[in-house]
Structure formats: C-alpha cells, structure tokens
A and B are shown apart, each in its own frame.
Chain A
Amino acid sequence: MIPDLPLVIYWLVTGMTALELLTAGAHLPTLYRVFLTLRICTCLAGVVFITVCTGRPPLFGPFEAAIYIVFVMGVLAWVFQKNWGHQTVFSLFSSLGVLVILLVQLGNPMALNEDYFMYGNLWVNLFFNLRLLAAAFLAHGASQYLGHMVEKKPRDLLSTGGRNTLLVGACVYLTSEWAGSLWCLNWFGDSWQWSRGFFKASILFLLIMAVCHLPSSINKNNRIQGISGILPGLFIIWMIFYH
C-alpha cells in the first residue's frame, strides 16, 4: 500500500484541483472553497507522509516538490480569499496553474526521493525546502498578476497582492540561496561555484530584480508589467521540475 500511496495522493489532489477549476469557472464560490479546503487537507496528508517516511521535509523531485508547492499555493489562495473575498479570475488562474503543475508530472515516477547522507544537514534541508516555498509564493504571485491582467475592470486588489507576494517570495528565495551558499562553503570550500545551477539561480534573482526596476515607460503598461510579474513564477517552476 505504502509504495502506491504517493500515486493515490497525486491523483486525489489532481482530481480535486480539476473540480476546483470547474466550480471556479461556474461561479460557485462555496463549492470552490470546499474543494480548495479538501485539496489543502490532502496535500497536507502528503506532506506529513513525506516527512514521516523520510525523516525530513519535502526537498525536490516530481512527487515531493509538486505536492509541497501545491499545498502552499492552496494555503496562500485560501488566506488571500478569506481576507479579500472570492476573486473569480484569480481562482481560475490559481487552480489552472496548480493543475498545470500537477499534469506536467504525468509520466514521472510518483515516489519519495532516494535517501542521501547529506539530507540530515540543516543547510541542505533549508536550501531545498525554502526553494520550494519560494516557488509556491512566486507562482501564487503569478496567478495574481495574471488575474489582474485579464480582469475586465481591473482593481488594485490582485496587483497589490502580486506585489506583496513577489517580495515575500524574493525574501524566501534569498534565504534559500543563503543556506545553499553555506552548504556549498561547508562542502566545497567556496561560498558559490560556477555551475548550471548557479546560472539558473542567478537568472531567477535577476528576473525578480528586473520586475522591481521596470522603467516608467514600461511601468505604465499593465500588460507588460503583468507579464513581467508572471515570469519569476514561471521560471522557478521550470527550474525546479526541469533542472
């Protein structure tokens, strides 16, 4: 049973997200909230399962990363809508984003990662886990920016949420990189090394910085600003699942 449990959790979460998307599209906020809550609870069960079985938090890999990111995105969506009321466009994009994250995992083995002796180290755990957390924040922010872009009567609710989420995501991401640097220092003797991983991590940081430094000529265009707000979320998801 236990080896199949990740697959069961994966399909349960995917099914609930599909229902969530349908109810959001059909303007059924109460039902949407029920499915969102169920999705969060199932993901939480998945996260507890990972933690209990491996003795560490979720770190990476198709199953661990997807369930953890989807869990945090669910919590963020729940909190956001609890504070500001049901936002149909945001709900649609958030659920769609989660569904895409889950569906691109199709075909990948749904299992726990193989153990490695370094997984007992604090900095290693912080580096990987906070990276997933940052991905969830940035992806949540991307849904808010996307929602704002296509809203018929744009208000500042989603864009303000996107701005706040992006900055929190940046803090979490930098903390993860800081822990990663310490790991690198203790492992290789250098605080950072030239590698594909380093270049990709730098691109993400530079993307976040670029969004924060849009020149006024671009800043006035909601569409361009929206797209730039989406890019960090898209890039980190790609980086985590296709590294």
Chain B
Amino acid sequence: MIQRLGSVTLTFYTLIVLICLMEAGVLFSTAHGEIFVHMNEVQIFEWIMATWEKAPLPVVWFLSLCLCAAVLFMNAVCCSLGRQWSLAKKSGLFKNWLFFFLHCLFIMVLVCHGLILALGEKQSRVHLFPGQDHSFGPYEIQLADVVFTGDPAILKAPKKQQRALMTRKNIRIHENHALLTLVKNDRILARQKIRMLSPLRYGSVQVTLVEFVIQGADDRLGVVLTLTDNFLNTFFFLVYAIMILSLAVFTLITWKRPSGKKQNMPPLSCPETKGENRLEGRETQIRPD
C-alpha cells in the first residue's frame, strides 16, 4: 500500500492535476479579482465562509487545490519513508541520503505553506495617524510620528500615476519612516522606526508599513499597516533556503558527464531502485544521477 501511495506515477499525475488547478487559478484571479484580494486580507477559514454564499466555484477550486496538495504531501511522505529511506540506509551513499533529505525538506516546505495559510493572526490595511493606537490580539501598536520627506502630491496622485512618480529620487526609502511602539500589558516590548520594506519584528509579530497616506482637509499624514503574528515565517525561510542549497549540492554531486554513446535520456532525479511502478505490473529501473 505504501509503495502504491509513494509511486512516481502518482506523483506525476498529481502534479499534472495541480498544474491544471493552478491554470484555473490564473483564470479565476482574472475573472474574480476582488475575491482573491479578499483572500489575501483575511484568514482562510474566514474567506471560505464569506465567499461560499456569493461565489461557490472559487471555494470548490480552493478545496480541490488543498486536496491535491494533501495527496502530493502523502505521496512525498510515503516515497521518502517507504523507499528513499531504505535505499539510503542500504547503499549508505551520500547522494542517496541527500536525495532523501531533499524530499524531507520539500515536505516541510509544503507543510509550512499550508500552515502559514491557516495559522496565525492577521489584520490588513490598518490606517493609523500620529497619536493613534490599535489593538492586535494581546498587543497594542502606538504610532508616535510619521516622516515623509518626498512631495506630498505623490501620495495624493491616483494609483496609476503614483507608480510613475515613485522613483528612487522622489521617494527616499531610508528617510521616510513611522515611529511605532509595540506594547503588551502596559509594558513596552519594542520601539522602532519602521520603513517600507523594513518592518518591525518582535518574536513572531510583524508590523509592516505598506504605504504612506494623506487624508482630510488638513492633509494629515498617516500610514497603512499590516499586522501579522505567525511563528512559522522564520522556520519556513530557513527550511526553504536549506532545500535550495541541498538541491544545488545534489546537482553538483550528480553532475552527469556524457559518455558519447547512444542512449535514452537520463532520468533527472530519482535514485536507483528496482521494483518501482508495480501499479503497472512491470519492473522498472530508475537509475541514480
């Protein structure tokens, strides 16, 4: 059973279905743009509840995508633990251990992707002006000051014009900032100037400056923030980086040199094993790279 669940054939067809679902996602995001914007602004369960009544098709698409990702996850687990592990143990070769390790890292990246989607807290597009504060779970965010050294007319311009005006010369990213204080139970946890692309991080909490805004008759300068609390982010980036590094090392140590003989194309990545593809009732040999 584990062999069937971990077969390369299942991997391949699951990938094909996933590609089709992603293609459908491209079409959906064109047709239902606002639904996808909402998807990014709230937690996923909240989005499912809110979208189901007005547009059930994107929800069905999303659930199919999750199901397919779950099949791929299960397939990767069965393949790694059922086949690659025993192969690596039996051969003791570094490249086989690395191959096993690479798949484990992929599984972790896939899990992190899913969990980041479902876990944690998020508040999008929080408008704050100097002197105001905002609650975020047990935390409070106080905005003391906002500095924008560029021409305020840029912030008043329509979005399409804004893009052309926001050059490196006009927007000095290191000078524009918001002075924030993160408070919990009347205790100051962090006080920091945050800039665009340079958020405040305290443990798993992140306060991100999305944009500067000008509002009201008195041209009051404020900021739009995104508040997130997700403990997985650091771990995700670390595992992702190690996975890329492992793939690079794997590519290097399995670098193929041509023999010049007539030959079928070499398979890309599967280590040597016999007996794969029993689903099709024949023995196949997958050679190491």
Interface residues of A, Cβ cutoff 8 Å to B: 55, 84, 114-121, 123, 145, 148, 153-157, 159-164, 166-168, 170-171, 174-175, 178, 181-183, 185-196, 199-200, 202-203, 206-207, 209-220, 222, 225-226, 229
A sample of 17 cross-chain residue pairs with beta-carbon separation below 8 angstroms, ordered by A number, consists of A117-B168, A118-B173, A159-B265, A178-B237, A189-B206, A189-B208, A190-B122, A199-B29, A200-B22, A203-B22, A203-B23, A206-B18, A214-B8, A215-B12, A216-B276, A218-B12, A219-B267
Tell me whether A159 and B266 are in contact (CB under 8 A). Answer: yes
Known interface pairs A187-B196, A213-B8, A216-B8. Does A164 touch B256 (Cβ–Cβ under 8 Å)?
yes
Tell me whether B167 and A115 are in contact (CB under 8 A). Answer: yes
Tell me whether A163 and B226 are in contact (CB under 8 A). Answer: no
Specify which of A117, A121, A159, A209 lies most central, judged by the most chain B CB atoms within 10 Å of its CB. Answer: A117
Min CB distance B67 to A, Å, is 16
CA distance A43 to B257 in the complex (A): 29
Contact with A along B32-50 (1 / 0, CB 8 A): 0000100110000000000
B residues 3-43 in Cβ contact with A at 8 Å: 7-9, 11-12, 15-16, 18-19, 22-23, 25-26, 29-30, 36, 39-40
Known interface pairs A206-B22, A210-B12, A210-B15. Does A188 touch B243 (Cβ–Cβ under 8 Å)?
no
Specify which of A167, A174, A178, A187 lies most central, judged by the most chain B CB atoms within 10 Å of its CB. Answer: A167
CA distance A162 to B263 in the complex (A): 14
Residues of chain B within 8 A (CB-CB) of A156 are: 258-263, 265-266
Count of B interface residues, CB-CB < 8 Å: 75
Known interface pairs A119-B168, A222-B265. Does A157 touch B258 (Cβ–Cβ under 8 Å)?
yes
Min CB distance B243 to A, Å, is 7
Residues of chain A within 8 A (CB-CB) of B226 are: 188-190
Tell me whether B268 and A166 are in contact (CB under 8 A). Answer: yes
Min CB distance B5 to A, Å, is 14
